[in-house]
């Protein structure tokens, strides 16, 4: 197999692993990985504005608004006015949303991060640089910088 075929096979394996875990998450919880990350962020940090959530999870504010719409429709999040500035709307987890976050299975990223953190710093840097270079070679640097691939609908 040629070098470029090895790279493509590895990229397909990564994409497939993410896809399989995303399907497991949806099947187990009815929630996508980005939705679970938003819920987890609200669990850990408390009520946040959509722009603060967007910064915390590296997604665009438009994507966060869409995710919050779905989570609100499902009864997992409420939008409430800020105590300090009534012009600002905050996302607030409902008890159902909190329970969903607490019982959700581990995200693929969490398992990856544990293993990645066990690597030597030089190896971490090498992997980061290699993946960044691959993204450049694929003309992907202008695409959404989200660490998540899917923002599908809630199916409860």
- 152 compared with 46, residue with greater pLDDT: 46
Q: What is the pLDDT of residues 17-42, one digit of tens each?
A: 888 888 888 888 899 889 999 999 99
Contact in structure between 81 and 47 (CB atoms under 8 Å): no
What's the CA gap between 102 and 62, in Å, rounded?
26
Reduce the DSSP state of residue 81 to 3 states and report it. strand
Mean pLDDT of 39-55: 95
Say whether pLDDT at 144 is over 60: no
Burial class (CB in 10 A: 0-12, 13-18, 19+), 87: exposed
State the chain's mean pLDDT as an integer: 86
CB atoms within 10 A of CB 63: 19
Domains of the chain: 3-105 (1.10.10.10), 106-142 (no CATH)
Say whether pLDDT at 152 is over 50: no
Q: What is the pLDDT of residues 86-121, one digit of tens each?
A: 888 999 999 999 999 998 887 767 778 889 999 999
User: Could you tell me the pLDDT band of residue 48, with boundaries at 50, 70 and 90?
Assistant: very high
- 129 compared with 107, residue with greater pLDDT: 129
Mean pLDDT of 7-21: 89
């Amino acid at each position: 197999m040629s070098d470029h075929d090895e790279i493509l096979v590895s990229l397909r394996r990564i994409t497939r692993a993410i896809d399989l875990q995303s399907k497991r998450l949806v099947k187990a919880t009815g929630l996508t990985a980005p939705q679970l990350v938003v819920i987890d962020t609200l669990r850990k940090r408390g009520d946040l504005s959509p722009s603060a959530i967007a910064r915390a999870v590296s997604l665009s504010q438009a994507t966060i608004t869409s995710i919050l719409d779905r989570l609100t429709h499902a009864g997992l999040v409420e939008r409430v006015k800020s105590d300090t500035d009534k012009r600002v709307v905050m996302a607030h987890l409902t008890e159902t949303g909190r329970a969903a976050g607490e019982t959700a299975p581990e995200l693929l990223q969490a398992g990856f991060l544990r293993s990645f953190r066990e690597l030597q710093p030089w190896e971490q840097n090498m992997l980061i640089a290699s993946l960044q270079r691959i993204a450049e070679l694929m003309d992907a640097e202008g695409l959404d910088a989200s660490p998540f691939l899917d923002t599908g609908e809630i199916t409860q």
